[in-house]
């Protein structure tokens, strides 16, 4: 049975390990995982559409003023924050298991899309350096539409832009995004690992075991 499958990117298709990243960049301030969690909440912030990092994902603030805001809030050196922001694209490496799953779904006749909270510069880098984007029929980056998950308007934009059939399957690693997809009438799978998602797709009859 052919199905439309919509992938989140960060944390699903691409590795996103902010706690590891912060311990690498700020070894003096971030000495363990507990401190990394505290700093991550300050730098990246939990979701709120008015938060600095959400504004970056929405395309409403550039890296330079973002670095100034974060440095002012956290006391970190502005130059260090700029370096962190600039280094994130190369940290977002593909997860081979998910890339294999993308190819497998495509080969079995499913139509694939992506729906990602991502600033424009990061988005352009990822599309440029990863040839598997050719497997997607289309996709939406938050910065390009100035809409963001889990707010409902980005799901409505996806629904209007893509020729989706019935209830697409949405794969994301963040629960509030999964909840938003369900509220929009989509099916959804909370990503834990490529193997777990593949098993769920097999269980639903969308992939051969």
DSSP summary character for residue 14: B
Strand order in the sheet with 187-190: 138-141, 111-116, 4-7, 169-172, 187-190
- Structural domains in the chain plus CATH codes: 4-14+93-203 (3.40.50.1000), 18-91 (1.10.150)
How many CA within 13 A on the CB side of residue 82? 7
Stretch 163-177: mean pLDDT: 95
Q: What percent of the chain has pLDDT over 90?
A: 91
pLDDT of the residue at 209: 75
99/13 Cα distance (integer angstroms): 7
Count of CB atoms situated within 10 Å of the CB of 153: 12
What pLDDT, on a 0 to 100 scale, did the predictor assign at position 166? 87
15, two tokens: 């590795």
What's the average model confidence in pLDDT over 53-80?
A: 95
Long-range contact pairs involving 83-88 (C-beta distance under 8 Å, separation at least 24): 83/25, 84/21, 84/22, 84/25, 84/43, 87/21, 87/25, 88/21, 88/122
pLDDT of 58 = 96
Tens digits of residue pLDDT in 186-209: 999 999 999 999 999 999 999 987
For residues 110-125, give the mean pLDDT.
Answer: 97
Upper half-sphere CA count for residue 117 (Cβ side, 13 Å): 22
Q: What distance in Å separates the CA atoms of residue 32 and residue 137, rounded to the nearest whole number?
A: 41
Residue 161: C-alpha distances to residues 9, 115, 164 (Å): 19, 12, 9
Q: Token digits for 99?
A: 């890339």
pLDDT at 88 over 90: yes
Query: What does the mean pLDDT of the chain come to?
Result: 95
Per-residue pLDDT tens over the stretch 14-59: 999 999 999 998 888 889 999 999 999 999 987 677 899 999 999 9
Cα(6)–Cα(182) distance, integer angstroms: 13
Higher pLDDT, 48 or 105: 105
Q: Which residues contact 105 (CB under 8 A, 6 or more apart)?
A: 5, 112, 201, 206, 207
- What DSSP designation does 169 have? E
What band does 170 get if pLDDT is binned at 50, 70 and 90?
very high
- Under a CB-based contact definition with an 8 Å cutoff, are residues 98 and 196 in contact? no
């Amino acid at each position: 049975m052919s199905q439309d499958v919509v992938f989140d990117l960060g944390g699903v298709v691409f590795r996103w390990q902010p706690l590891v990243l912060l311990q690498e960049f700020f070894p003096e301030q971030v000495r363990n995982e507990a401190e990394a969690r505290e700093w991550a909440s300050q730098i990246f912030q939990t979701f709120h559409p008015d938060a600095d990092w959400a504004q970056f994902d929405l395309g409403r603030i550039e890296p330079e003023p973002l670095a100034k805001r974060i440095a002012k809030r956290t006391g970190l050196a502005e130059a260090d924050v700029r370096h962190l922001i600039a280094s994130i694209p190369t940290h977002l490496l593909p997860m081979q298991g998910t890339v294999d799953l993308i190819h497998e779904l495509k080969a079995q006749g499913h139509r694939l899309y992506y729906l990602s909270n991502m600033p424009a510069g990061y988005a352009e880098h990822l599309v440029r350096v990863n040839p598997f984007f050719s497997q997607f029929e289309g996709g939406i980056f938050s910065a390009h539409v100035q809409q963001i998950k889990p707010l409902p308007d980005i799901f409505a934009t996806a629904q209007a832009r893509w020729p989706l059939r019935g209830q697409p399957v949405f794969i994301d690693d963040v629960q509030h995004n999964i909840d938003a997809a369900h509220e929009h009438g989509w099916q959804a799978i909370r990503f834990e690992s490529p193997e777990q998602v593949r098993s769920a797709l097999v269980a639903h009859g969308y992939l051969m075991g």
